[in-house]
Amino acid sequence: MSRTLIALVEDKPGVLARVAGLLRRRAFNIESLTVGHSEEPGLSRMTIVVESDLIGAQKVAQNLNKLVNVVNVEDITEQPTVARNLALIKVRVSGGARLEVLQIVNTFRARVVDVGLDTLVIEVTGTDEKVEGLVQVLGAFGIVEMVRSGRIAMLRGSEPQ
């Protein structure tokens, strides 16, 4: 099962390496790890998705909290959250396929961000399932290149994480 952890960390060199190193030493498979600035100056927010059970995720959170530059870690897997992924997908289109791909893009509420002679670059944001569904459908046309952000998440409601 996947567990989603949110970590607030000091925005300093080497913090990402220490967090990833701890997860590696504990033999956790990182499904995704995204890092970006937070609303607090000097702090970054990490969204870490690992394959683990509840006990393992609790141990990871406890160990991460012991790292010097880690301010707070919380497992938000079972809490109400808003979670999204971003993907850019370059797909091959030729002749009549272009119109069909554009219809699929509209169905998934994605958007075309670049048009080439024989390719389209599509941007999609949404749940893991939505992004994966679009990838599967576009696979029939020939995906030339793809990049995915990994999951970002925050708790629902008015209180910050």
Helix (H) or strand (E) holding 60: helix 54-66
pLDDT for res 160 = 65
* Closest by Cα among 105, 149, 160, 106 to 127: 149
Q: What is the pTM of this model?
A: 0.84
> Domain ends where: 75, 106, 132?
75
Q: Over the stretch 140-156, which tens digit does the pLDDT of each residue have?
A: 999 999 999 999 999 99
Whether residues 86 and 64 fall in one domain: no
Domain for residue 42, yes or no? Answer: yes
| CATH (domain of 121) | 3.30.70.1150
Computed on alpha carbons and rounded to an integer, the radius of gyration of the chain in Å comes to 18
Decide if 98 is inside a domain.
yes
Statement to judge: residues 71 and 92 lie in one domain: no
- 80-125 residue pLDDT tens: 999 999 999 999 998 789 999 999 999 999 999 999 999 999 999 9
Domains contained in the chain, number: 2
Is 26 in the same domain as 91?
Answer: no
Structural domain for 138, as ranges: 82-153
